[in-house]
Chains A and B, each alone.
Chain A
Amino acid sequence: MSGARVRWRKAGGLHGARFYGYTLVLPAIALLIFFFFIPSFYNVELSFHKISLFETVRGRGKFVGLENFAKLIRDPEFYNALKNTTFWLTGATVGLRLLLGFVLALLLNSTALKRWRLADVGRILVFIPWGVPPVVAVTIWKWMLHSRYGVVNLIFQRLGLIQQPIFFLTDTSVVWISIILVIVWRELPFAVVTFLAGLQSIPQELYEVARIDGAGWFHELRYITIPLLKPVITIVAFMITIWTFNNFVYVWLFTRGGPGNFTHVLGTKVYFESFVNYKIGYGATFGVIMTVIMMVFALVYFSTLFKRSVNV
């Protein structure tokens, strides 16, 4: 009898706990294979082909090896999109969400707000944007920021802050600020709710002891709140970075990559190359690069996190 068969028998065969476990996870694995791995591999396969959207009806186009990747490296628009994705779309919005999310969570968790019975109202107000679908959020903000009909310009003009309207959607000096504003407004509640949950799990005794030792608000924040909230901050930062880096919706709905190609990000470039230029293979190449960047990011991130936890 072979070793494997012996192990199988020892594990209880078809009635064993191990088999039972595999059976339970099988549907999840099957779903992952069909809806994640197969499309991902198909995307990688497409990136090695020259194929137009029209050709997808009949076949898989022509195999061109690494030609699409070579083209991408020479393409200045790739670097423009990469810069926009890294700096504006991800860096700026993630940084702001972490900072504002932390501040708002502290505020909502504060005893002062609870004392004034404003904690619940505050939470509801903060969470409202999360309930607004992104497409609705962008449409509303586009009208609010409109240079002639928008309420934002109207208020600024009434307050005497500006003489001429600001062209939030078309002026290259402010268009990214407008996009960031919408993303932060819509996505901030996730950071707030997670930080708030983290803050509420910190034992109150720690603060009481600190106060007995003469610690002020700032010392409590520095030596208790932030260190104990660090794991939550780390996970939130990781998750929203990946979600935002791959995001397509906000920029596409807001500017469609314009004016010109000023606000194109990697997500919109995938769409633009695949479904506007019809170059499915080249569009898939952008997708592969995005995946690789995020994989590297995740590896670096987790290895750093692991090292830190080992050192601790």
Chain B
Amino acid sequence: MRLISIKKKKLVSIILTVVVGLTLILATGIAGLSQEKVTLVFRQNDPPASAVGLSDAVAEFDRNHPNIKVKYEVVPWSDALNQFIREAGVGAGPDVLQSAFVWTMDLAKAGTLVKLNPLMEQYPLPYGIEDFVAVDLGMLDEGIYGIPWTTDTFAITYRKDFFAEAGIVGFPDDSWSHFKQVAKKLTRDRDRDGVIDQYGFAFPAGSGSTGGMWFLVNYFIWSHGYTFMKQAADGTWGLGVDAKAIAEAMRYFNSFFEENISPRSLIAIDNWSDPELIYGLAKGDFAMGFMPPQSFRAVMDANPEAPVSSAQVPAGRVTRRTHLGGRTLAINKNTKHLKEAWELLKWMCSEHVFETYYRQQFSAQKTLLEKITYGPEYEGYVKLIPQAQTFHTYIISPVRVQTMWALTNREFAAVYSGQKSIETASEDLIREIKEALEEAISES
């Protein structure tokens, strides 16, 4: 009996020790957790030169929120979508992420983003969601999955000194052919060594899937009354452009290379922020360029002395049209800190951030857009934004925008490099998009 009682005592003391120990560990852990900072990851996709100040904006958020620590990440546009989808699929990824206008709906459909409506009701945006442009691009089934953050379009940028030197008065934006004539006039062999050292027009003509050629092609075909995707009155989808119209665009842009108005090295350039384009315009190797405002700002930073300005893209037979693109901020479905992530998202959209830190970009809020005063060099962008259209039709069409984007760039570059004739490439492009449409319809 005595032996049993000793054993019992031992058992009870062991159990008590374990319970007390566990309680202490838990208590210490909870105390530690209550003091531990919430760590958020914020990811953006622009190169550092196009996003100067964003890290400072994040640092101020950190200072204002002692219990939150934000890790600032940069993933290039070319990898951003793939990387996020891969991460989202395995329960990882940034808490707050930057998306392109054209990606948000696809990401929402894939179930990777948080529906923001409840957060907007609980912790409203200062000017309300109605204050933002292009909200529909981030909507799915009445739910809002992304807050438009910045907005922009592409414009023609040019050297005023070269125009004056060539005696050109006014910008040739009345037609594409007039634009080319002037570009040709601006192409010069300054030192007369037989090699051109001032090209008329520089644009990203590469075949890469995220290259800038896509925008220029769309501006051209839209201005002539065509569009890649068109929805009929009965709701069916089809192509709003034919091989003949594509061939016209290919012939037009290819002539810049054939007539040496643009250097062939541009066929290897996808990114509109490529150093060759930025420094080429800043240095004076190019008389005109094609770029968004943040790249234009980089030109001015590269050579503050360069007398540069921006102008509208040329008008076509029907109209003048550019795209209203931009960035969206969204919250990853896998975030463990929803409230804090929303807090950060709201901060990044705030007037203070755009006024103090993120000055290269135009805010996507009407109120802020009205408040900002732009220098005369931004004239082209200011004129174009009201005429711009979003890619909404493409986004809601069965074919993914990225597929059309990649195919277009590839076929145009195939012409520039001499790999395909204009006839073959234009027919191939139409056939490939048609096949993609048929496949998408059959899948749905």
List of A residues within 8 angstroms of B417 by Cβ: 170-172, 258-260, 262
Interface set, chain B 151-201, CB cutoff 8 A to A: 194-195
B264 part of interface (Cβ distance < 8 Å) = yes
Known contacts A57-B110, A146-B265, A257-B207; A277 and B406 CB within 8 A of each other: yes
Residues of B within 8 A of A261 (CB): 207, 410, 414, 419
B116 within 8 A of A: no
Interface core residue of B89, B207, B285 (most chain A CB under 10 Å): B207
Within residues 242 to 256 of chain A, which ones have a CB less than 8 A from any CB in chain B?
A: 255-256
Give the one of A170, A262, A277 with max B CB within 10 A: A170
* In the assembled complex, A73 has its CB within 8 A of some CB on chain B: no
Kindly list chain B residues whose C-beta atoms are within 8 Å of the C-beta of A256.
Answer: 206-209, 270
Beyond A54-B109, A55-B110, whether A260 also contacts B414 by CB under 8 A is yes
Q: How far is the CA of A258 from the CA of B206 in the complex (A)?
A: 8
Are A275 and B82 in contact, CB atoms less than 8 angstroms apart? yes
Question: Is A170 a contact partner of B264 (Cβ separation < 8 A)?
Answer: yes
Pick the contact of A57: B85, B400, B443 (CB < 8 A).
B85
Q: Contact: B402 with A278, CB < 8 Å?
A: yes
Bound-complex Cα distance A62 to B276 (A): 45
- A277 B403 Cβ-Cβ under 8 A: yes
With an 8 A cutoff between CB atoms, is A200 at the interface?
no
Residues of the B chain whose Cβ atoms lie less than 8 Å from the Cβ of A53 = 82, 85
Q: Is the CB of A147 within 8 A of B85?
A: no
B97 within 8 A of A: no
- The reply to whether B89 and A56 contact each other, CB–CB distance below 8 Å, is yes
Least CB distance from B428 to A in Å reads 10
Q: Kindly list chain B residues whose C-beta atoms are within 8 Å of the C-beta of A58.
A: 110-111
Bound together, the chains give a CA A163 to CA B285 distance in angstroms of 19
* Min CB gap A16→B, angstroms: 39
Q: How far is the CB of B379 from chain A (nearest CB, A)?
A: 30
CA A255 – CA B443 in complex, angstroms?
A: 32
Interface residues in B393-420 (C-beta closer than 8 Å to A): 400, 402-403, 406, 410-411, 413-420
Contact A170 B268 (CB under 8 A): yes
Q: Are B85 and A260 in contact (CB under 8 A)?
A: no
Interface residues of B, count at CB 8 A:
41
- Closest residue to B110 on the A side, CB-wise? A54
**Residues of B with C-beta under 8 A to A258:** 206-208, 267-268, 410, 413, 417
Chain B 285-327 per-residue mask, 1 if CB under 8 angstroms from chain A, else 0: 1000000000000000000000000000000000000000000
In-complex Cβ contact of B264 among A55, A167, A277, A278 (8 A):
A167
In this complex, what residue of A is CB-closest to B260?
Answer: A164
Decide yes or no whether B106 CB sits under 8 A from chain A. yes
* B44 within 8 Å of A (CB atoms): no
Most B CB within 10 A of own CB, among A55, A147, A149, A258: A258
**Alpha-carbon distance between A258 and B264 when the two chains are bound, in angstroms:** 14
A142 to B206: give the CA distance in the assembly, Å: 14
Q: Which of A102-145 contact B (CB under 8 A)?
A: 142
Cα-based distance from A284 to B285 in the complex (angstroms): 44
CB-CB nearest in chain B for A71: B439
Cα(A170)–Cα(B269), bound, Å? 10
Contacts of B195 in A (CB 8 A): 164-165
Give the complex CA separation of A169 and B268 in angstroms.
6
The docked-state distance in angstroms from the alpha carbon of A35 to that of B175 is 58
On chain A, the number of residues with a Cβ less than 8 Å from chain B's Cβ atoms is 34
Contacts of B110 in A (CB 8 A): 54-55, 57-58
CA distance A147 to B418 in the complex (A): 17
Q: Could you tell me the distance between the alpha carbons of A277 and B404 in the complex, rounded to whole angstroms?
A: 9
Given known contacts A147-B264, A148-B285, A163-B194, A260 and B89 CB-to-CB distance under 8 angstroms: no
With an 8 A cutoff between CB atoms, is B88 at the interface?
A: yes
CA distance A142 to B269 in the complex (A): 11
What residues of A have a CB within 8 angstroms of the CB of B416 in the complex? Answer: 170, 259
In the complex, A255→B285 CA distance in Å?
Answer: 23
Residues of B within 8 A of A171 (CB): 264, 417-418
Which residues of chain B have C-beta atoms less than 8 A from A276's C-beta? 209, 402, 406
CB neighbours (8 Å) of A88 from chain B are: none
Give the CA-CA distance A259 to B425 in the complex, in Å.
13
**B410–A57 CB distance below 8 A:** no
Residues facing A in B75-103 (CB within 8 A) are 82, 85-86, 88-89
B112 cross-chain contacts in A, Cβ below 8 A: 57
B263 within 8 A of A: yes
User: Could you give, for residues 257-277 of chain B, a 1 whenever the CB lies within 8 Å of some chain A CB and a 0 otherwise?
Assistant: 000000111011010000010
Complex: A277 Cα to B411 Cα, angstroms: 15
Contacts of B264 in A (CB 8 A): 147, 167, 170-171
Judge if A78 is at the interface, Cβ distance under 8 Å: no
A272 close to chain B: CB less than 8 A:
yes
Q: Check if A50 is an interface residue, CB within 8 A of chain B.
A: yes
CA separation between A171 and B268, bound complex, in Å? 10
Residue of B nearest to A164 (CB): B195
Q: A148-B265, A164-B195, A260-B413 are in contact. Are A50 and B443 (CB under 8 A)?
A: yes
CA–CA, A37 and B264, complex, Å: 46
Contact between A170 and B406, CB atoms less than 8 A apart: no
A257 to B209, CA, bound (A): 10
Interface string of A22-49 (1 = CB under 8 A from B): 0000000000000000000000000000
26 contacts between A and B (CB under 8 A): A50-B443, A54-B110, A55-B110, A56-B86, A56-B89, A57-B89, A62-B443, A146-B276, A148-B285, A164-B195, A169-B267, A170-B268, A170-B416, A256-B206, A258-B208, A258-B268, A259-B413, A259-B414, A260-B410, A261-B410, A261-B414, A261-B419, A275-B82, A276-B402, A277-B402, A278-B403
A-B pairs, top 5 by smallest CB distance, nearest first, are A260-B414, A259-B417, A258-B207, A170-B267, A54-B110
Residues of chain B having any CB pair with chain A under 8 Å:
82, 85-86, 88-89, 106-107, 109-112, 194-195, 206-209, 263-265, 267-268, 270, 276, 285, 400, 402-403, 406, 410-411, 413-420, 425, 443
Given contacts A53-B85, A258-B208, 8 further A-B contacts (CB under 8 A): A54-B110, A148-B285, A164-B195, A255-B268, A261-B207, A261-B410, A262-B414, A276-B209
